Amino acid sequence: MSDDRPAELTIDDRTIAVAVVQFAPGEDRVHNRDVASGLIAVAASRGARLVVLPEYSSYFVDPLGASFARNAEGLDGDFVGTLAAAAREHGLWVVAGLVEKTDVAHKFSNTLVAVDPAGDVVATYRKQHLYDAFGAQESEWVVPGDLDAPQTFAVDGIVVGLQTCYDLRFPEVTRRLADAGADLVAVPAEWVRGPLKEHHWTTLLAARAIENTLYVAAADHPPAIGVGASAVVDPMGVTIAALGETTGVAVGEVSSARVREVRERNPALRLRRYGVTPL
């Protein structure tokens, strides 16, 4: 007979507050940095230890074009410097998407960076699945990321993995992060609006959480271009913090005990019979 009692807490259990930040970056890079800093401060005031900002937080216009490469920055540029300063000031970790310089003419890298409370870059991830769908052609302007090892880092004992937007439609990306020990996956996004796209967004966030028995913290652009609905989803697919269509911050509690409890009840990762390898 199954035992549905919650797992017992242990001294090794960890709990952190995770914030998802929803805002619409534009063509003014200085303004984008100022808005990001302000929203990180709001998240910090609400107790966040990890703050997740959207994809393209450093620069964005619609549609993608040649201006992105002209406005691309290195990891030692002003945008990452702003994140580092905010992380140091508030004593927290920050994940955000930026338009990164490459050596390819007219192209850039759609990159995620994670910065720790010392202001150091502790993980980077370059988008592997480019958005060549629903009429868009991201690969015309973006260099795809290499199929490197999963990018993870730890926040107070909670292991965090990185992936971006369209990667959500490829379940093996999140599965590799789960195999790498992730308790939480941070998903900066610019999930473009369209017929049923908000439904796809919320469904995929829940699916990736449920099938990997981990948390998902996803930060999107609000309408009119994005769908909004940034959220923190728990390992049972329950949305524990969310935003609607406005700029703002939502904070959810992430618990290692919850991950352990769900994985004891639903040992799907242990019972599976297939692995994931890059093509």
Q: Could you identify the residue written with the tokens 């919850």?
A: 258
Cis bond before residue 6 (omega within 30° of 0): no
What local confidence, expressed as pLDDT, does residue 1 receive?
42
Q: How far is CA 121 from CA 18, 27, 83, 88, in A?
A: 18, 25, 10, 12
- Residue 141 covered by a domain: yes
- Residue 1 covered by a domain: no
Task: Specify the CATH number for the domain of residue 246.
Answer: 3.60.110.10
C-alpha to C-alpha distance for 61 and 68, rounded to whole angstroms? 8
- Residue 191 covered by a domain: yes
- Residue 241 covered by a domain: yes
Under 8 Å between Cβ of 158 and 82:
no
C-alpha to C-alpha distance for 59 and 24, rounded to whole angstroms? 10
Give the closest residue to 118 by CA, choosing from 78, 90, 95: 90
- Which tokens in the block code for residue 133? 């769908």
Q: How far is CA 50 from the centre of its chain?
A: 11
- Residue 163 covered by a domain: yes
Q: What is the pLDDT along the chain (279 residues), one digit of tens a residue?
A: 445 555 566 666 899 999 999 999 999 999 999 999 999 999 999 999 999 999 999 999 999 999 999 999 999 999 999 999 999 999 999 999 999 999 999 999 999 999 999 999 999 999 999 999 999 999 999 999 999 999 999 999 999 999 999 999 999 999 999 999 999 999 999 999 999 999 999 999 999 999 999 999 999 999 999 999 999 999 999 999 999 999 999 999 999 999 999 999 999 999 999 999 998
> Count of domains in the chain?
1
- Residue 113 covered by a domain: yes
Q: What DSSP string runs through 57-114?
A: -S---SS--THHHHT-B-TTSHHHHHHHHHHHHHT-EEEEEEEEE-SSTT-EEEEEEE
- Residue 179 covered by a domain: yes
Q: Could you identify the residue written with the tokens 């201006």?
A: 67
Q: How far is CA 4 from the centre of its chain?
A: 31
Phi, psi of 132 (to 5 degrees): -105, 65
Residue 241 structural domain: 15-267
First to last CA, the chain: 42
C-alpha to C-alpha distance for 207 and 233, rounded to whole angstroms? 10
- Residue 273 covered by a domain: no
Taking the alpha carbons of 202, 207, 213, 217 in that order, is the dihedral positive or negative?
negative
What local confidence, expressed as pLDDT, does residue 29 receive?
98
Q: Give the residue numbers marked as catalytic.
A: 55, 127, 165
Under 8 Å between Cβ of 100 and 144:
no
DSSP single-letter state for residue 183: S
C-alpha to C-alpha distance for 270 and 167, rounded to whole angstroms? 23
Question: Reading across the β-sheet that carries 231-233, which strands appear in turn?
Answer: 152-155, 158-162, 184-188, 215-219, 231-233, 239-242
Tell me the three state secondary structure of residue 163: coil
Tell me the three state secondary structure of residue 166: helix
Give me the amino acid identity at 37. S
What local confidence, expressed as pLDDT, does residue 13 receive?
86
C-alpha to C-alpha distance for 256 and 271, rounded to whole angstroms? 21
